[in-house]
Amino acid sequence: MGKSGPCLGILRRDLHDILLDNLENIDFRLGTTISNCQQDADCVSVKFEDGELESFQLVIGANGPHSSVRKMTLGDIPIRRVGDLCCRFVIPRPRNLDDWTLYAGKQKQFLIVPMSETEAYVYAGRQAKATETLAKESFLEPFMDFPDQVSAICAEVNKNDLIWSPLDELQLLERWGNNRIVLIGDAVHAMPPFMAQGASLALEDALVLGDELSSRDNWDGMANVLTKKRRERVLWALERNRRREKLTNLPYWVSSLGLRLVGQKTWIEDYAPLAKRLELTETK
Ligand SMILES: Cc1cc2nc3c(=O)[nH]c(=O)nc-3n(C[C@H](O)[C@H](O)[C@H](O)COP(=O)(O)OP(=O)(O)OC[C@H]3O[C@@H](n4cnc5c(N)ncnc54)[C@H](O)[C@@H]3O)c2cc1C
């Protein structure tokens, strides 16, 4: 892509530290949740789980794919189960790992991404055959016939360090909330990581929302403002993500031939619109 930065992994804990270090005068309440939120005339009434009621100028639902704020605001939205199981873990950074590296085989992918001088992140994904149920105990076994770098990682990893997830996709919503209740990140556009863009899009949502909040006096209709600003870019990522999902389900010889013939071109096309700088007030 030329102008974009390196592809790096980051621990959630480190991201939180970076965000927290840059916040001032914010009143935090951790370890709680809300049981209801409701759009009133010009504010949002929130009920906390301990029964306390409070009004806010704006509520941001950034609480992931199964967002309760989304449910309270827009009702039950179906989530599509794309894959039953994948796992992630952190390893000591292999000495010869210069950049992100993907190993792809028949119905299995193994991705290694540098995180720091000393650590790297691993994602292992498999597509189950129609008659197969993927089991955690034997999940990494099919990767033992990958090149030495991969089989050594699989042999050495402590199975207790693996983090398991299903892969889910939320249909893209027409409205990212309601008036002053705004949904961002996976709460509004959860998608499986075939494009590896979920967290990046979530961070972009936060940047754009922050920009809009600081440049407007009136926050009425903020959910619509964000929908307009963000939907097109997110829709692109979602559609390209679905194309990649189809690719993983093609017969192996078809997908590997396709990758060899048009892989690089498609890769550049996939990311080109996402590599464009966001238009924020301060960068205009
Ligand atoms: C296997 C896998 C691999 C991925 N790989 C990549 C990748 O390579 N690159 C990439 O960019 N993205 C990737 N993603 C996607 C990325 O993880 C998500 O898009 C990102 O975490 C979304 O951030 P979020 O803050 O919107 O939601 P989340 O990360 O889900 O955070 C939501 C937070 O809200 C909290 N919460 C939930 N409910 C409540 C409640 N009721 N009250 C209070 N708090 C609540 C949760 O505890 C959580 O801390 C991957 C996802 C998966 C599953």
Q: Look at the domain 32-78+171-277 and name its fold.
A: FAD/NAD(P)-binding domain (3.50.50)
What mean pLDDT is predicted for residues 230-237? 96
> Which pLDDT score is estimated for 271?
93
Instruction: Give the mean pLDDT of the chain.
Output: 92
For the CA of 88, the closest atom of ligand 1 is: 1
Residue 284 has pLDDT above 60, yes or no: no
Question: Is ligand 1 within 6 A of the CB of residue 123?
Answer: yes
Question: Is ligand 1 within 6 A of the CB of residue 72?
Answer: no
Tokens coding 47: 């009920």
Residues of the chain with CATH 3.30.9.30: 81-167
H or E element that contains 85 = strand 79-92
For the CA of 205, the closest atom of ligand 1 is: 26
Beginning with the edge strand found earlier in the chain, give each strand of the sheet holding 44-48 in spatial order.
34-39, 44-48, 53-56
Q: How far is the CA of 186 from the centre of ligand 1 (A)?
A: 6
Residue 62 has pLDDT above 70, yes or no: yes
**Confidence at 283, pLDDT banded by 50, 70, 90:** low
Q: How far is the CA of 9 from the centre of ligand 1 (A)?
A: 14
| % pLDDT > 70, the chain | 98
Q: Checking DSSP bridges between strand 53-56 and strand 44-48, what pairing results, if any?
A: antiparallel
Least confident of 66-80, 158-172, 249-263: 249-263
Q: Name which residue leads in pLDDT, 153 or 27.
A: 153
> Which pLDDT score is estimated for 131?
73
For the CA of 9, the closest atom of ligand 1 is: 8
* pLDDT tens per residue across span 169-205: 999 899 999 999 999 999 999 999 999 999 999 999 9
Nearest Cα to Cα of residue 245 among 114, 120, 129, 107: 107
CA distances (Å), origin 55, targets 35, 40, 48: 14, 9, 11
**Confidence at 250, pLDDT banded by 50, 70, 90:** confident
Question: Is ligand 1 within 6 A of the CB of residue 62?
Answer: yes
Tokens coding 10: 């980051």
> Which pLDDT score is estimated for 67?
97
Residues of the chain with CATH 3.50.50.60: 32-78+171-277
CA distance 251 to 32: 47
> Which pLDDT score is estimated for 1?
47
* pLDDT tens per residue across span 110-168: 999 999 999 999 999 998 776 777 899 999 999 999 999 999 999 999 999 999 999 99
- Nearest protein CA to atom 28 of ligand 1, as residue: 64
> Which pLDDT score is estimated for 121?
96
Nearest Cα to Cα of residue 83 among 124, 137, 142, 140: 124
Q: How many CA atoms lie within 13 A of 186 on its CB side?
A: 18
> Which pLDDT score is estimated for 238?
97
| CATH architecture for the domain at 81-167 | 2-Layer Sandwich (3.30)
Q: How far is the CA of 147 from the centre of ligand 1 (A)?
A: 31
Neighbours of 265 (CB within 10 A): 9
Question: Is ligand 1 within 6 A of the CB of residue 82?
Answer: no
Record the pTM. Answer: 0.93
> Which pLDDT score is estimated for 3?
65
State the helix-helix crossing angle for 198-215 and 222-249, rounded to 10 degrees. 170
